Amino acid sequence: MTRVTRILAAAMLCGAPAPALAQAPAPAPTASVVVANPTYTTIPLEIDVNKPAAEVWARVGKYCDIAEWLPAVKSCKMLSGVEGEVGSVRSVANEVLVAKTQYSYTYTQTPREVRPYNLYHGTVEVRPVTDKTSKIVYTLMYDNSMLPDDGAREKDKAARTAMFTGAIQNMKTLVESGKPRP
């Protein structure tokens, strides 16, 4: 290694730019996805099911089962990873599976360069109630601060509540009768 190369390497390790790099054009600034003053909201939903937790989870608990019980989702496939493994990504909004237990999983939607990040997370869970009954619990959490006012935030929350109430009702129907709601 020449003396000049050693000096350049040492300067770069200390955080100083190399002369050639210092003259390269700086990358164009990108809009930040960070929200300055987030306001997190949650939507907790639950429904009783007349089946044991293991049966409920076996029927509606796979990561891509969402295409059966959430009408807005027409199809679901794994984009990376393996169905049901933490870190896997499904085609529904490129959602990443971030946690799971025997009868639950939690997913998130990843940041996008073109919009503020709302930290959207959802948890689907089945809780045993008795040996023959259980409860489906679906909890959503997200930042709604980028909406223009309280009226828009209320409307957004009402729409999400209606959509996911329909989803847990569909899960219940699928488990109890084997068929989705018409």
pLDDT single digits (tens) 80-114: 999 999 999 999 999 999 999 999 999 999 998 88
Q: Can you tell me the distance from the alpha carbon of 86 to that of 104, in angstroms, rounded to the nearest whole number?
A: 12
What is the H or E stretch that residue 96 is in?
strand 96-101
Judge residue 171's burial from the number of C-beta atoms within 10 Å of its C-beta, 0-12 exposed, 13-18 middle, 19 or more buried.
buried
Q: Can you tell me the distance from the alpha carbon of 68 to that of 179, in angstroms, rounded to the nearest whole number?
A: 10
Query: What three-state secondary structure class fits 45?
Result: strand
Residue 106 pLDDT: 98
Average pLDDT over residues 161-176: 97
In this predicted structure, the answer to whether residue 10 has a pLDDT above a threshold of 80 is no
In this predicted structure, the answer to whether residue 15 has a pLDDT above a threshold of 60 is no
What are the tens digits of pLDDT across the range 18-50? 444 345 565 555 667 777 889 999 999 999 999
Closest CA to 9 of 25, 21, 24: 21
Residue 28 pLDDT: 58
Residue 178 pLDDT: 82
What are the tens digits of pLDDT across the range 131-144? 999 999 999 999 99
What are the tens digits of pLDDT across the range 105-130? 999 999 988 888 999 999 999 999 99
Domains of the chain: 29-177 (3.30.530.20)
Residue 25 pLDDT: 61
Contact 97, 63 (CB under 8 A): yes
| Higher per-residue pLDDT: 16 or 168 | 168
Average pLDDT over residues 39-68: 97
Q: Can you tell me the distance from the alpha carbon of 7 to that of 76, in angstroms, rounded to the nearest whole number?
A: 54
Average pLDDT over residues 51-59: 98
Residue 32 pLDDT: 74
In this predicted structure, the answer to whether residue 3 has a pLDDT above a threshold of 60 is no
Closest CA to 119 of 152, 137, 138, 146: 146
Residue 33 pLDDT: 77
| Higher per-residue pLDDT: 87 or 15 | 87
Q: Kindly state the tokens that stand for 126.
A: 């089945």
